[in-house]
Structure 1
Amino acid sequence: MERLLQVVNTFATVTQGSGLHIYAIIATVLLLISLVGFIYYCVKGGNLIIGLFITATFWFLLGVTYSLWSASVNSQIESFKDAWNIFAGNLNLVFSDGPINYGTTTTVIIFASWFGRVIVDTGIAKALIKKVVELSGDMQLVTVIVLSIVTALLFTSIFGPGSVMAIGAIILPILLTIGVNKKVAVGSFLMAVAAGMYVNKGFSIQFSTNPFFEQIWSIPGFASDFTVFTWLAFLVHVVFMIGFIVFNMYFAKDKIKSWAMADDGMEKEVKGISFIVPFIPAIISLTIAIINMFLPANVQPTATSPGVINQITDVAAITSFVIGIILGLALTGNLKTYKKAIETSQKTLFNGISDVALLIGMLLVLNMFSTAASKLAAPIFQTALGDSLNGLANNPIWIVVAFAILAPLALFRGPFMVWGSGIALVTVMSTFIPATTPLLLVLFYVQPVAIVAQSCPTQSWGMWALSYAKYEPNTFIKTNIPWAWAICAINIFLAYFILM
Structure 2
Amino acid sequence: MDVANVVIGFIMVLSFFGLVWYCVKGYNLMVGFFVMSVLWTSIALIGNSIHPTSVMEGKTFIDVLTNVFQTGPENYGKAILVNIFFGAFFGRVLIDTGIAATLIRKVVELGGDKPRITMSLLCIVTAVIFTSMTGIGPVISIAVIVLPIMLSLGIPSPIALFSFMGSIMAGIFGNIVNFKQYQTIFATANESYASYDYNTYFKFGMIAMAVSLIVVLVVSNVMMNRKLSRAWAATPDSGATVDAPAISWISIILPVVGVVVLKVPIIFGFIFAALFALLTCGKLKGGFASVCRMLSKQFADGAIDVAPMIGFLLTLSMFNNAATYASPYFKTLLDGAMPQTALLLCIVFAILTPLGFFRGPMNLVGSGSAILAVVVATAAWPVQFLYPLFAITTVAPQHLDVTQSWVAWGFGYTKVPAKEYMKMSIPTGWIIGIILCAVVFFMYGNLV
TM-score > 0.5 by shorter chain = yes
CA deviation map 1:25-50 (0-9, x unaligned): 22111111110111111111111111
2:11: which partner in 1? Answer: 30
Alignment counterpart, residue 404 of structure 1, candidates 350, 361, 373: 350
1:362: which partner in 2? Answer: 312
Distance 1:226 1:390, change over 3 A: farther
1:327: which partner in 2? Answer: 276
2:429: which partner in 1? Answer: 484
1:109: which partner in 2? Answer: 84
Alignment counterpart, residue 124 of structure 2, candidates 126, 137, 149: 149
CA deviation map 1:393-450 (0-9, x unaligned): 4223223212212321222112222211222332333331326544542432112322
Task: Report the Cα distance in structure 1 between the residues aligned to 2:121 and 2:290, rounded to whole angstroms.
Answer: 34
Task: Report the Cα distance in structure 2 between the residues aligned to 1:258 and 1:87, rounded to whole angstroms.
Answer: 66
1:96: which partner in 2? Answer: 70
1:216: which partner in 2? Answer: 193
Distance 1:486 1:86, change over 3 A: same
Alignment counterpart, residue 39 of structure 1, candidates 10, 20, 25: 20
Instruction: Say if 2:150 is the partner of 1:175.
Output: yes
CA deviation map 1:312-366 (0-9, x unaligned): x622221211111111222222211223312321221111111111212111111
CA deviation map 1:76-97 (0-9, x unaligned): 9xxxxx9xx7011111010000
Question: C-alpha displacement at 1:215, in angstroms?
Answer: 2.6
Task: Report the Cα distance in structure 1 between the residues aligned to 2:232 and 2:19, rounded to whole angstroms.
Answer: 40
Instruction: Say if 2:290 is the partner of 1:340.
Output: yes
The correspondence of residues 181-192 of structure 1 with structure 2, limited to 5 A, is: 181-192=156-167
Task: Report the Cα distance in structure 2 between the residues aligned to 1:452 and 1:123, rounded to whole angstroms.
Answer: 28
1:9: which partner in 2? Answer: none
Overall identity of the aligned pairs, in %: 32
Question: C-alpha displacement at 1:391, in angstroms?
Answer: 6.9
Alignment counterpart, residue 201 of structure 1, candidates 157, 167, 176: 176
Question: C-alpha displacement at 1:158, in angstroms?
Answer: 1.1
Question: C-alpha displacement at 1:227, in angstroms?
Answer: 1.2
The correspondence of residues 450-465 of structure 1 with structure 2, limited to 5 A, is: 450-454=396-400, 456-465=401-410
Task: Report the Cα distance in structure 1 between the residues aligned to 2:19 and 2:84, rounded to whole angstroms.
Answer: 26
1:494: which partner in 2? Answer: 439
The correspondence of residues 49-128 of structure 1 with structure 2, limited to 5 A, is: 49-69=30-50, 86-103=60-77, 104-128=79-103
On the 8 A contact 2:105/2:236 being kept in 1, the answer is: no
1:236: which partner in 2? Answer: 211
Task: Report the Cα distance in structure 1 between the residues aligned to 2:103 and 2:143, rounded to whole angstroms.
Answer: 13
Task: Report the Cα distance in structure 2 between the residues aligned to 1:258 and 1:372, rounded to whole angstroms.
Answer: 55
Alignment counterpart, residue 470 of structure 1, candidates 415, 419, 425: 415
Task: Report the Cα distance in structure 2 between the residues aligned to 1:447 and 1:71, rounded to whole angstroms.
Answer: 33
2:323: which partner in 1? Answer: 373
On the 8 A contact 2:120/2:217 being kept in 1, the answer is: yes
State the secondary structure of the residue aligned to 2:378. coil
- Residue identity matched to 1:99: P
- Residue identity matched to 2:90: F
1:273: which partner in 2? Answer: 247
Task: Report the Cα distance in structure 1 between the residues aligned to 2:53 and 2:192, rounded to whole angstroms.
Answer: 31
Task: Report the Cα distance in structure 1 between the residues aligned to 2:110 and 2:343, rounded to whole angstroms.
Answer: 46
CA deviation map 1:436-471 (0-9, x unaligned): 5445424321123222212x1111111111211111
Distance 1:392 1:379, change over 3 A: closer
Task: Report the Cα distance in structure 1 between the residues aligned to 2:41 and 2:437, rounded to whole angstroms.
Answer: 32
Instruction: Say if 2:106 is the partner of 1:131.
Output: yes
Question: C-alpha displacement at 1:163, in angstroms?
Answer: 0.8
State the secondary structure of the residue aligned to 2:253. helix
On the 8 A contact 1:198/1:231 being kept in 2, the answer is: yes
- Residue identity matched to 2:223: N
- Residue identity matched to 1:279: I
On the 8 A contact 1:334/1:340 being kept in 2, the answer is: no
Question: C-alpha displacement at 1:130, in angstroms?
Answer: 0.9
1:422: which partner in 2? Answer: 368
Distance 1:392 1:32, change over 3 A: closer
Give the number of the structure whose alpha-carbon radius of gyration is greater: 1
- TM-score, normalised by the number of residues in structure 1: 0.80
Distance 1:26 1:360, change over 3 A: same
Task: Report the Cα distance in structure 1 between the residues aligned to 2:283 and 2:149, rounded to whole angstroms.
Answer: 27
On the 8 A contact 2:338/2:375 being kept in 1, the answer is: no
State the secondary structure of the residue aligned to 2:214. helix
Task: Report the Cα distance in structure 2 between the residues aligned to 1:206 and 1:391, rounded to whole angstroms.
Answer: 29
**Structure 2 regions of 5+ residues with no counterpart?**
none
On the 8 A contact 2:136/2:406 being kept in 1, the answer is: yes
- TM-score, normalised by the number of residues in structure 2: 0.89
Task: Report the Cα distance in structure 1 between the residues aligned to 2:189 and 2:240, rounded to whole angstroms.
Answer: 47
Task: Report the Cα distance in structure 2 between the residues aligned to 1:140 and 1:318, rounded to whole angstroms.
Answer: 38
Alignment counterpart, residue 351 of structure 1, candidates 301, 307, 323: 301
Distance 1:334 1:35, change over 3 A: same
State the secondary structure of the residue aligned to 1:157. coil
2:140: which partner in 1? Answer: 165
On the 8 A contact 2:385/2:440 being kept in 1, the answer is: no
Question: C-alpha displacement at 1:120, in angstroms?
Answer: 0.9
CA deviation map 1:363-406 (0-9, x unaligned): 111110110111x2223444x44xx7257342232232122123
Distance 1:53 1:372, change over 3 A: same
Question: C-alpha displacement at 1:238, in angstroms?
Answer: 2.1
State the secondary structure of the residue aligned to 1:101. helix
Instruction: Say if 2:263 is the partner of 1:314.
Output: yes
On the 8 A contact 2:154/2:229 being kept in 1, the answer is: no
Distance 1:437 1:275, change over 3 A: closer
On the 8 A contact 1:447/1:488 being kept in 2, the answer is: yes
Higher mean C-alpha deviation, range 410-419 or range 237-246: 237-246
Distance 1:246 1:86, change over 3 A: same
- Residue identity matched to 1:421: S
